[in-house]
């Protein structure tokens, strides 16, 4: 097993050990930090995944953004090409289970949008280092997209998901800013 795979496996196990109370407490702090940031407040279009059970809940973030009149764009995975197409959506009946059980927009009920038209992209991940490099779920979808994306990238994670250094490959790109329950920091990207 590669070092990255081992780190991913260990962190997923660790995160699944959190009690529901612990998770909700961390999620609330993450939301407060995000909502009070100028990045969130100024963004008109937010790119965000629809969380699964193993991720920090994004539904409250999506609801708040929609309440504030922001546009929400979520990705649909194209498994054949390992690419993502973003679609804007605003109602629960516009999403369904897709690739790997991840909720995705339904193309016939939503509007495609170029990821370059997204002001703030919230990039998921499992482990992060202080320079903004991340270990995701292993599909490489975000690595390919981040090579071309010109907007602002952030990630939300617990302090416990931050490590000193992640093994890097040539195609890995960092996010610009990380928000945890305790702080937010620029990564130097």
Domain locations in the chain? Answer: 3-186
- pLDDT of amino acid 25: 96
Angstrom distance (rounded) from CA 167 to CA 129: 10
pTM of the predicted model, to two decimals? Answer: 0.94
8 A C-beta contact, residue 33 and residue 179: yes
pLDDT per residue of the chain (189 residues) written in tens, 0 to 9? 688 899 999 999 999 999 999 999 999 999 999 999 999 999 999 999 999 887 899 999 999 999 999 999 999 988 888 889 999 999 999 999 987 788 999 999 999 999 999 999 999 999 999 999 999 887 788 888 888 899 999 999 999 999 999 998 888 889 999 999 998 888 765
Angstrom distance (rounded) from CA 93 to CA 122: 22
pLDDT tens-digit map of 53-100: 878 999 999 999 999 999 999 999 888 888 899 999 999 999 999 877
Task: Determine the CATH number of domain 3-186.
Answer: 3.40.50.10420
Q: Tokens in use for 83?
A: 């690419």
- pLDDT of amino acid 188: 63
Does an H or E element contain 4, and which?
helix 3-16
- pLDDT of amino acid 28: 97
Angstrom distance (rounded) from CA 29 to CA 183: 10
């Amino acid at each position: 097993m590669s070092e990255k795979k081992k780190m991913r496996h260990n962190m997923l196990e660790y995160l699944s050990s959190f009690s529901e109370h612990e998770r909700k407490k961390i999620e609330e702090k993450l939301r407060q930090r995000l909502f009070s940031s100028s990045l969130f407040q100024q963004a008109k279009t937010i790119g965000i995944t629809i969380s699964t059970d193993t991720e920090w809940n994004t539904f409250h973030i999506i609801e708040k953004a929609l309440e504030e009149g922001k546009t929400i764009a979520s990705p649909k995975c194209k498994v054949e090409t390992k690419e993502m197409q973003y679609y804007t959506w605003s109602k629960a009946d516009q999403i369904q289970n897709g690739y790997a059980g991840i909720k995705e927009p339904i193309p016939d009920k939503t509007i495609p949008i170029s990821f370059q038209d997204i002001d703030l992209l919230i990039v998921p991940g499992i482990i992060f280092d202080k320079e903004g490099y991340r270990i995701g779920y292993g599909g490489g979808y975000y690595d390919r997209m981040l090579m071309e994306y010109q907007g602002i990238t952030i990630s939300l994670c617990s302090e416990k998901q931050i490590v000193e250094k992640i093994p890097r490959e040539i195609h890995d790109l960092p996010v610009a800013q990380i928000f945890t329950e305790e702080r937010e920091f620029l990564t130097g990207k």
